[in-house]
Amino acid sequence: MIFSCSVDDGHPADMRLAQYLARHGVNATFYLPINNVEGWPVLQGAQMRELAQGFEIGSHTHDHCFLNRLDDQQARFQIQQGKRALEQILGRGVTGFCYPGGKYRPVHLQMVRAAGFHYARTTRNLHLDPGPGRFELATSCQFYAHGRAVYLRNFLRGGHWMRRAPLLLDGLRRRQWQGRLHAMLDQALARGGVFHLWLHSIDIEQMAAWDALDGFLRHVAGAVSPAQRWTNAQLAAHYFSD
Give the pLDDT band (50/70/90) at residue 148: confident
Per-residue pLDDT, 189: 95
Checking phi first, is residue 169 left (phi over 0); if not, alpha (psi -120 to 50) or beta?
alpha
Residue with the bigger pLDDT between 174 and 194: it is: 194
Per-residue pLDDT, 167: 87
Question: Nearest Cα to 33, choosing from 1, 4, 2, 11?
Answer: 11
Going from the C-alpha of 143 to that of each of 9, 45, 102, 182, 203, the distances in angstroms are 14, 26, 16, 10, 9
242 has a pLDDT exceeding 70: no
User: pTM here?
Assistant: 0.96
Cα 108 to chain centroid, rounded: 18
Average pLDDT rounded to a whole number, residues 101-123: 98
Going from the C-alpha of 48 to that of each of 20, 44, 86, the distances in angstroms are 17, 6, 9
Tell me the pLDDT tens digit for each residue of 187-217.
999 999 999 999 999 999 999 999 999 999 9
Cβ atoms of residues 148 and 174 within 8 Å = no
Domains plus CATH for the chain? 2-144+194-239 (3.20.20.370)
Average pLDDT rounded to a whole number, residues 95-104: 97
Per-residue pLDDT, 195: 97
175 has a pLDDT exceeding 90: no
